Amino acid sequence: MSSDPTTTPVAPEVEQRVDSADTTLHNPRSAVVALGSNLGNRLENLQGAVDALEETPGVRVKAVSAVYETDGVGGPEGQPTYFNAVLVLRTTLPPHSLLERANAVEDAFGRVREVRWGARTLDVDILAYEGVELTQPELTLPHPRAHERAFVLAPWLDADPEAELAGHGPVAGLLAAVGEDGVRRRTDLALHLPQ
């Protein structure tokens, strides 16, 4: 924890990167991405997604939430539990290019899209992109169900305690409204920002 009184202390399971000057990006915007996995080595899948996004030209991972274990929502009965996390990015990629990269990362981890909301090795969803609201078949921003999902809101609040979801308000208030049933913070697990 920093001794600087102007910084907000964060839990040890939450990593944030603060750069005084990030020369790798020009005119970046903030984006928020949710990660989920309930097949294979769930923690390795999530960490692999963090690493792959950080390695993407035009993307810088700025904060990584704690890991949450959650019950499946909206999909087939009897799914294994998920590991979920949220990343805050700075990016120069436009939203559709970021979506293409997210899909490519999923594919690299063996994601199979056969059953809607079915079990998956890796899910990479864009929740929000600074200054962008759109509704298209392939991408809706902000994510149309983010405000209803504790497994998204709890880690998002970890990664950015001041976060707001456009059109819905502060993430802290949204999480308080939906509650945290079926969402358990795993203090024994952590994702790490790439060095």
Other residues' Cβ atoms within 10 Å of the Cβ of residue 130? 15
DSSP 167: T
Q: How far is CA 19 from the centre of its chain?
A: 20
Residue 102 tokens, joined: 């997210």
Which residue is it, tokens 């969402």?
A: 183
The residue behind tokens 């056969």 is 114
Angle between helices 95-108 and 42-54 (to 10 degrees): 140
Whether residue 12 has a cis bond before it, omega within 30° of 0: no
- Phi-psi sector, 22: left (phi>0), alpha (psi -120 to 50), beta: beta
Q: How many CB atoms lie within 10 A of CB 80?
A: 13
Smallest CA-to-CA distance from 124 within 187, 47, 191, 68 is with: 47
Q: Which residues are catalytic?
A: 111, 120, 123, 125
